[in-house]
Chain A
Amino acid sequence: MRIVVIGTGGAGVSAVEAIREYDKDSEIFMISRENTPPYSPCVLVDYFQRKEEIDKLFWKGEDFYKKMDVTPLLGKVVNKINTKNKKISFNEETLDYDKLLIAAGGKVTLPPLKGLNKKGVFTFKTLEDADKIREWIKKGKVEKGVVIGGGFIGLDAAMCLTSYGVKVTVVEALNRLLPRMLDYEMGTLVKEIVERNGVAVVVNGRVNEIVGEEKVEKVKFEKGEVLDAEIVVMATGVKPNTEVVEGTDIKFNGRRGVVVNEYMETSVKDVYAAGDIVESIDIVTGEKKPILLWSNALLQGAIAGYNLIGRKVKYLGSTNQTIIKVFNVPVVSDGNYIGEEIKLFSRDVYKKMYIKNNRIYGYMLINTKKNAGLYNSLMVSKKDISEFKDFLLTDEFNYGKLVTKAITLEKETYQY
């Protein structure tokens, strides 16, 4: 059997590992537009700040393809999928497949700004982007920078630039930082942390033009204000890279991504998809939506891999649990803002949770990660938390509380 995987990101890699766990014989091809060993974008900030950490970026080792007995086809862009004849085309070549996995990830969404083509305007998505930005900073006189977008990639970019001495302003169109992760109150607290670290923040800010001769010189706002900048990073969001399946009979849902069933199979037989490119399921609410996160990509990749070789495994959904370190302060968010809000704020630790019908629907933590995994499992397993409600957010709450609660019901030996 010949398995072809488009993409060498988290989803593709995780699928190949799952396949190879049981199937050492099938022929596997991995195709990527990027000419690198598999790397994890989550490590890009560390790599940007300390280039010598490149070995950590290549999370499965530089010899991954060899170890997995995979034929890599790197630096190739897939431009056509022919599901009738089971062929894909890239750079004037074609390749047959028996089973295909599309793990082509996401794509930066760019707003229609004037001047996006000026030199010194970058996106921050790939290893190549990181290298280009660093090179630009090192060779030019870059003193001021503007990051457009205050989501986690925007903050990552701001921290990268700051570490090279660039004076950064982050511009966010909504009223707070990390708008997809946090509500107004928590997002505003993060804004304070960012500002304390020397980064200026403009919320409710809309840029409409990047100005400059050949290189970027200024960023102009809708309302007329102007900021000087020798570098601009566009961190305006990522969406499923559905381009790859456009014009085929593989079903996709606009911005939400490629449609898959619970076995990660697309609407076309023998074609699977996983990771940032697909429409995922929120395991708590059942809602279909893109979940463009590392853990989700790995989970779906593995599930696609198993199903592809005939081992039936169901994808039941994921949560959007995310952690980002904002200048070393951990910020965690998970779930939805549904239900009643409870919160516990101390001088420098902020915790908030959303509860409905005695179930956790979402939580946000600033400057602590304590119990995040426990909250997540209580949320996913839909446990009734009424007994713990009064102290759920305090330091007193811990896993042991649940166990001892259970012991009072029945004595047994525990393992795990």
Chain B
Amino acid sequence: MKTVFIRPERCIGCKHCEIACAIEHSKSKELFTAILEEPTPAPRIHVLPTIGIMTFPDKCRHCNPAPCMQVCPTGAITRNKEIDTVLINGNRCIACGMCGIVCPFDAISYKRSWEISIEREVALKCDNCVDRLMKGFEPACVEACKTNALSWGEIEEVMREERKKIAEKIAIATTSAEELLEKPVPENIKLWRDLGLVIKKLGEKG
């Protein structure tokens, strides 16, 4: 399975990914017409200012198990297993905000979208550019990133194994996740995983 990799140390904060994302999720999918659209197309990736001059491109991690999907009271959030992507069906969304407050990455925003038939805000987040993937293209943010801070590739086998092990044994992982891991992982990944695994449910099929 392929996924977007983020290498934060390479991000220079140019925000090309944000623009590409907004255009890809606009009605016209063209820069010059997109900026005139109502509602204004919104990016689903956000380049965050961090410590010092560093920036960090933050987006949905398509967690598995996914807290947002677990909690949605209307069943608007589902996983497309084929491309391992968590998707929100805006036409089922009531903008209750529950998914937003469980996402450890703050990856969901609430805005109007041309795709929704009723005029109201709905939950929006990265969809891995499903439309592009289906046509054999990479996600728009990856294509736009000139420094390779965002790339598209196979998930390392090791990572997968590690993840499966965790998913098998725990429900809410946060602290106990570490104990279950046999070998120590680098602090940064541990941190990431700790946060990502404030998880409410068992994961992938065993």
Query: Using a CB–CB distance below 8 Å, which chain A residues touch chain B?
Result: 10, 18, 21-22, 40, 42-43, 46, 53, 55-57, 59-61, 283, 294-295, 298-299, 302-303, 306, 311, 313-318, 321, 323, 325, 330, 332, 334, 369-374, 376-378, 380-383, 396, 398-416
**Interface status of B49 (Cβ within 8 A of chain A):** yes
Closest 5 CB pairs of A and B: A400-B56, A406-B188, A400-B48, A372-B101, A40-B73
| Extra 15 A-B pairs, beta carbons < 8 Å, given A43-B74, A314-B170, A412-B186 | A42-B73, A60-B75, A294-B71, A311-B202, A313-B171, A316-B171, A325-B96, A373-B103, A377-B195, A398-B106, A403-B50, A406-B191, A407-B188, A414-B8, A415-B5
Bound together, the chains give a CA A398 to CA B63 distance in angstroms of 19
- Name the A residues within 8 Å of B9 (CB-CB): 407, 411
- Are A56 and B94 in contact (CB-based, < 8 A)? yes
Which of B7, B63, B72, B200 lies in contact with A413, CB distance below 8 A?
Answer: B7
Question: Which chain B residues in 16-70 approach chain A with CB under 8 Å?
Answer: 48-52, 54-56, 58, 61-63, 67, 70
- Are B98 and A302 in contact (CB-based, < 8 A)? no
Q: Chain A's nearest CB lies how many Å from the CB of B168? A: 9
- Are A18 and B202 in contact (CB-based, < 8 A)? yes
- Are B188 and A410 in contact (CB-based, < 8 A)? yes
Q: Chain A's nearest CB lies how many Å from the CB of B126? A: 12
**Interface status of B135 (Cβ within 8 A of chain A):** no
Task: Point out which of A21, A317, A377 has the most chain B C-beta atoms below 10 A from its C-beta.
Answer: A377
Binary CB contact string for chain B from 106 to 132 against chain A (1 if under 8 A, 0 otherwise): 100000000000000000000000000
Query: Using a CB–CB distance below 8 Å, which chain B residues touch chain A?
Result: 3, 5-9, 48-52, 54-56, 58, 61-63, 67, 70-76, 92, 94-98, 100-106, 155-156, 159, 169-172, 174-176, 186-189, 191-196, 198, 200-202, 205-206
- Are A381 and B188 in contact (CB-based, < 8 A)? no
- Name the A residues within 8 Å of B5 (CB-CB): 413-415
- Name the A residues within 8 Å of B98 (CB-CB): 42, 294-295, 323
Known: A42-B98, A404-B50, A407-B188. A382 touches B175 (CB 8 A): yes
- Name the B residues within 8 Å of A414 (CB-CB): 5-8, 188-189, 192
Task: Point out which of A330, A371, A396 has the most chain B C-beta atoms below 10 A from its C-beta.
Answer: A330
Bound together, the chains give a CA A406 to CA B50 distance in angstroms of 12
Task: Point out which of B75, B193, B196 has the most chain A C-beta atoms below 10 A from its C-beta.
Answer: B75
- Name the B residues within 8 Å of A55 (CB-CB): 92
Q: Chain A's nearest CB lies how many Å from the CB of B9? A: 6
- Are A381 and B174 in contact (CB-based, < 8 A)? yes
- Name the A residues within 8 Å of B51 (CB-CB): 401, 404-405, 408
- Name the B residues within 8 Å of A405 (CB-CB): 51
Bound together, the chains give a CA A118 to CA B61 distance in angstroms of 53
